[in-house]
Amino acid sequence: MKNIPLVDLRGQYAPLQEEVKEAIAGVLDGMNLFLGENVFQLERDFAAFCNAKHAVGVGSGTDALYLGLRALGVGPGDEVITVPNTFIATVSAINMAGAKPVFVDIDPDTYLMDTSKIAAAITERSRVLLPVHLYGQPVAMDRVRMQAEEHGLAVLEDACQAHGAEYRGARTGTLGDAAAYSFYYSKNLGAYGEGGIAVTDSRDIATQLQLLRNHGSSTRYYHSVLGMNSRLDELQAAVLRIKLRHLEQWNEARRALAGEYNRRLAGLPGVVTPIEAPDARHVYHLYVIRAQARDELLEWLKGHGVQAGIHYPVPIHLQEACRELGYEDGDFPVAEKVADEIISLPIYPELTTTDVDYVCQTIGDFFSDRRTERPAAATVSEGGTRE
């Protein structure tokens, strides 16, 4: 029996380890541990990668979202429109900014923001649209921007899972007023700890981000605004500079593996493979299928050495932490249905096609086993005995 992890960090580290160790040693030799040349060079390199003008390194993806909202002027009494099918950090950042999250349901094919529902969610308190490029696929941003322009709203992209994704040939990070990325270890571009970055074409927004991440200070002990300590450290930046050089190759490997999954799972009863929108370049941070008997399939896979996962099992509006928002079961039926059916399969650049074969064969065996059991189950219900 194979053992296939959901994420293989060791496999990615092995060919880079000497270069990584040398870079870390260089930081430690110089002992310039924050806001040094590695951070500033990473900011330049990542902005160029996104085809954006500015990037500001911060402590985490959550901080990038929060500081992005702050830089866009969001505060108490404001509303930010987003989706319930996301990681809790999206909503935590809105709450940290003092604003109220307002949800719209998701598209049943892409699991991204249903842009046709934005207009109905806009009120006089709406300040920002916060689309989430979930799993590595960008939202249909022309429709988001159209609504933003019509109603005078800003747009902050939650691109924490979408490093290098594109919509109509434009990279995430350039599709709104600003964008937030996470460098959490399992992301397409991950640090060896925590980290994040915010991207924008606006000099004014970038200046605000730089102030806010550093206690509101551009000169030591002089503070023009109240900010926080959210500085990306030099050690993480040194690692990320190395890994960024490989990101396009890794993204292409993920896309090829997703194609292999799609081909091998095509037509399998009980499984719905992900749809890549015609205008999108999906970078498959996660490869997410929908499946009948999801929980049973998850246990089957684990029992056969395949470490799968669920991203995410409970929509945000039904989380206990968000109960005070007043949403109820049934308010966002597509997000709720999807949450009961999704399962994330292993995907990372080092995964082999042989591994993909094994995962797909294991899924096929699960549904074959279920089909062979059904007649016996029916016989039992009719008063017979199982053979």
Q: Which two three-digit tokens encode residue 289?
A: 């299928």
- The answer on pLDDT for 61 being more than 50 is yes
- d(CA 274, CA 111) in angstroms, rounded, equals 9
Residue at 358 is within a domain? yes
For residue 309, the domain's CATH number is 3.90.1150.10
Cα(363)–Cα(355) distance, integer angstroms: 12
Direct distance between the N- and C-terminal alpha carbons of the chain, in angstroms, rounded to an integer? 28
207 shares a domain with 70: yes
- pTM beyond cutoff 0.75: yes
Spatial distance between the Cα atoms of 150 and 156, rounded to a whole number of angstroms: 16
Query: Where is the domain boundary, 244, 267, 292?
Result: 244
| Residue 68 belongs to domain spanning | 9-244
CB of 221 within 8 A of CB of 170?
Answer: no
Q: Same domain for 278 and 375?
A: yes
Q: Are residues 30 and 58 in the same domain?
A: yes
Query: Distance (Å, rounded) from C-alpha 162 to C-alpha 281?
Result: 10
Per the DSSP assignment, residues forming a β-bridge with 342 are 290
| Mean of pLDDT over the chain | 95
pLDDT in tens, 74-126: 999 999 999 999 999 999 999 999 999 999 999 999 999 999 999 999 999 99
Write the CA distances from 111 to 2, 82, 107, 136, 341, integer angstroms. Answer: 31, 13, 5, 11, 12
Report how far residue 131's alpha carbon sits from residue 380's, in angstroms, rounded to the nearest whole number: 49
User: Looking at the 3D structure of the chain, how many domains does it have?
Assistant: 2
| Chosen domain end from 190, 218, 244 | 244
| Final residue belonging to a domain, choices 226, 244, 262 | 244
**80 lies in the same domain as 205:** yes
- pLDDT band of residue 34 (cuts 50, 70, 90) is confident
Whether residue 46 is contained in a domain is answered as: yes
How high is the pLDDT of residue 374? 61
pLDDT digit string (tens) for 173-195? 999 999 999 999 999 999 999 99
The tokens for 236 are 């993480």
User: Are 198 and 67 contained in the same domain?
Assistant: yes
Quick one: 209 and 254 in the same domain?
A: no
